[in-house]
Structures are given as structure tokens and as C-alpha cells.
Homo-oligomer: A and B are copies of this chain.
């Protein structure tokens, strides 16, 4: 079994440096140096730079997925889940103002649509949209749900770009506040459970 510790150190260093300095501008030498591993040894764990980048983005992808699961576990109301997810970006607003969104950065930088790394980064957004859409749907927003989910992430991404450009974290805070207010005022069109067409409990009926 291969050494997990060094492999993880490489992934974490890569994820951080890709976020802060960009995918193209970060060399394997930079990553190896930050992880305190000789550059020749990097290739024992990852055959190419793309493979390491893929692992770094995939880790972020799974971290976000884990966060959705946690929200579903601890918060019953889908509206509150969406609001809590949005507040996450308030917490990281200073880092996002300095370095941008780690995912949005890769999407923007992407030259080719065929690139595996970009496709994985896109999947992170797709995962968020899928999750948020489900929350909006549970809130009774029906066919608007997907549009709302995309609009939610777009709001964050746009605010991040402008905050980075103008070096004003407040821009992210303002957008988070706007989005939260919007979601708080969304009418709950949810069909109340038990009020309509509840399935007969066939097991206990007889």
C-alpha cells in the first residue's frame, strides 16, 4: 500500500497553490517544495501534473458534497439549508477577495472544453446546482428551482470577481445579504405533507 501521508500532502499543497496562484502559474516544483517532497518523488504518486490537479479538484468536490450531506442531516428546513450554505461564502469572503473562488478560477482559466480538470471543476458547480435545485423544489418553487439554483451560485461568483477586482470584501457580504433576503422572502409553495393525497398505510391498514 502506498504512503497516504505524502500523497495527501501533495494534494493539499496543490489545492492551496492552485487556488492562490492559479493552475497554470503553479509548477510541480512549487508544489513539491511546499509539501517538502523532492520533485522526482512527485511522479511516484502522480504520473502527470494533470493527474495531481485532478486529485486536488476532486478532493474539493468531495468536501463540498460532504457539506451538503451535513446540512441535510442537521437542518430540517430546505430554506434554512440554502441560507446556511450561502453564509459559507461570508465566512470565506476575505480569502475569496484575495484569491477568488478556487473552482471559479479554474473554470475561468480553462482554455479547452475537453480538459479533464475543467470538467471536474464544472462538476463541482453542477453538484451544487443539483443540490440547491432540490432544496428550492422542496420549497415548492417547481420549475423555477433550477434557474434559482444557478442564479444563487452565479451571484456568489460574480460578487467574488468584483470583490477581487476592487479589493472590497464588502461586495461579497452585500451579495450574500441580498441572496439571503431573497430566499427568506420566497413564498413557500410546498404542498404540506399529509394535507394532500397521503398514501394509505397499507401495512397497518388491515
6 A-B pairs besides A25-B111, A154-B158 with CB distance below 8 A are A100-B107, A104-B108, A108-B161, A121-B165, A125-B162, A155-B155
Query: Among the listed B111, B121, B166, which residue makes an inter-chain contact with A125, where contact means beta carbons less than 8 Å apart?
Result: B166
Residues of A in contact (CB 8 Å), total 40
A86 → chain B closest CB, angstroms: 13
Report A137-167 CB contacts with B as 1/0, cut-off 8 Å. 0000000000100110111111101101111
Q: How many protomers of this protein does the assembly include? A: 2
* Residues in chain B near residue A24, CB distance under 8 A: 22, 24-25, 109
- 13 pairs across A/B with beta carbons < 8 Å? A22-B110, A22-B111, A24-B109, A100-B108, A107-B161, A110-B164, A125-B162, A147-B174, A151-B175, A153-B158, A155-B155, A157-B157, A158-B159
Cβ of A181 within 8 Å of any chain B Cβ, yes or no, is no
Hey, which chain B residues are within 8 Å of A104, CB to CB?
108, 161
Q: Closest Cβ of chain B: how far from A206's Cβ, in Å?
A: 50
